[in-house]
Every structure is written in C-alpha cells, then in structure tokens.
Structure 1
Amino acid sequence: MTYRVCFVCTGNICRSPMAESVFRARVKEAGLEGLVEVDSAGTGGWHEGDGADPRTVTVLADNGYDSAHTARQFQPSWFSRLDLVIALDTGHLKALRRLAPTAQDAQKVRLLRSFDPSADGDLDVPDPYYGGMDGFEECLEMVESASEGLLTAVREDMEGRVA
C-alpha cells in the first residue's frame, strides 16, 4: 500500500515544492520509491498552474535536486487519500486543521520542523518569497534537516501498518 505525503505552504511555489523535491530524493535514496508518494500544494490558489519560484529552482538545482513542479491548491477532499499533510509553518498548520473534514484528518497535519531534533522552539520555516537568495538557502537547510526525521517517522508508520 502506498504511503502518501503532501507538503503545504502558502502559494506552492517556494517552501512546499522545495520540501517535496528534497523529501522525494530522500525517499529514492532509501529505496522507497513506489512505496512513498510525495507531492505538494498551497493553502491558496494564487499561483495555480505556475512553476516553482525561480529562486527555489536555482537553490534546488545548485544542490542536486529536481525542480519540476506545477503549483496547485490543497483540497479538503485530499485528506481521505493522504497519510501525512506536512505544514511549513503554524499558519498553514492551523488553516489545514480547519479544512480537515474529521478529527482523524486533522491529526494527519504536522509541522515539518517537528521532525527535526535540532530545531529550536520556533518550528516555522520562514517564507523566503519577499527576500533574497539567502532566505531560500536557509529554507533548504531547514527542509534538509527535518527530512531525515520525517523519513524515519514515515518508515515507522509504514512498518506499524504491516505488523
């Protein structure tokens, strides 16, 4: 059975496509391709149909990640097919939990940095959109740092379902 993870930020052009690309690479490295499906979306539809922000594309390419992406808006009906909905900041977390059709669906929503044991008290990945390249590089560092812990959690959840 396929395990499905969706990363969600505001417009689905900066943080969530970056997290999607990084986590997809971790899934592939772990030999879990075909077992774990990774995608992303935004809480709003402002950029629907657009590619990732050029700065996201640059940072991903400079670090060896794929950046193929088309922005889309998260739909509440997706909860039924998703195992985890990963919010990039607390605003997204709250918005997604409000969209969740059931309490069980709301429990699927987690903050990305909650999977990073080195994260301090602030678990938000800051929005780099209105800044320079350094914000996109910082975003990538945070995403990479949390991705290993997320992969461990996904593996444990998958093993628990098989047992």
Structure 2
Amino acid sequence: MKWIISVILGSLLVLVACSDDTLKTESEPATSTSEKENGEDHINYLMNLQMEMISVVRKHVKTVSAYEVSQGETGDRDEAVQASNRIANELRGIEVPAEINSALQTDMKDSIELLALYFEERAAAISSGEDKADMEAALGEFHEKIGATFESVGLLAPNFGKDLY
C-alpha cells in the first residue's frame, strides 16, 4: 500500500514539474519566435544566393582555368576572355530577394558586384597578359565583403577559392 501511494505521489510531482515548464515556454513573447524565424529566413536566402553564385561561376570557369593553367599554350585566349566576361555578366543578373532586410540586400549586391569585377579583372589579365595584382585585390575585397555579410547573421564566412579555378 505504501508503495502504491509513493508511486502516485512521484507521478504527481513529475506531472506538476512538466506542466510548469510548458507554461514558461508558452508565455515567451511571440516576437522572439518571429525574430528567430526571420533570422533563419535570412540565412536561407544567403545560402541560396551563395549557391546561385557558385552555379553561375562553375558553368564557364573551366574554359578560363584551362587557359590559365596551360599558360596560354592550349585553349583559345578569346574564348577564355569571353567566358570570364560572361561569368561577370551572369553574376550581375542574380537577383537579391526583397524579403531580406535592406542592409543585407545592399551587402549582397555589393558582394556580387565585387565578384563580377574580379572576373572582369581576370579577363583583362588574360587578354593583356599583365600581372594579376588587380584581380587578386578584387578577389580579396569580395571575400572580405561576403565574409562580413555572412558573419553578421551568424554564418561562417564562405570561401569561393576552390570554385573560382
């Protein structure tokens, strides 16, 4: 008999403790849930933009890289220049979603523009055979800008290095 009473009392204590926790979670302000969902939306949009940028680059970068790796011995210089310029133009065609806040929109548009400038500098370096200092500077600026943008929403800074060659 004592055993049954102790089991019932123990069960009641567990139920009271569990019901107390649910009251606390239900009384949280709705704005924190809304803010959390909004932050997750921003993260999803940024990740989708990153994937779209990578997709655009990967479509044409093999032509450019093959020419650069061969140091002009194989491949067509004009083809490589056109491919690099095509990447820059297609990058500029990427639309940043209006659903993200204006600061992130501006930062992502700037990042996309910096990557497009990198490919224009790359085309110029291929066509003129000059050094690649401007090209590397543009790539550095791009990585700084996109890294700061991603870190502002709690993501790690992306590294596009392997996708650009």
Q: TM-score, normalised by structure 1?
A: 0.33
* The structure with more helix, counted as a fraction of residues: 2
| Bigger radius of gyration | 2
* The structure with more strand, counted as a fraction of residues: 1
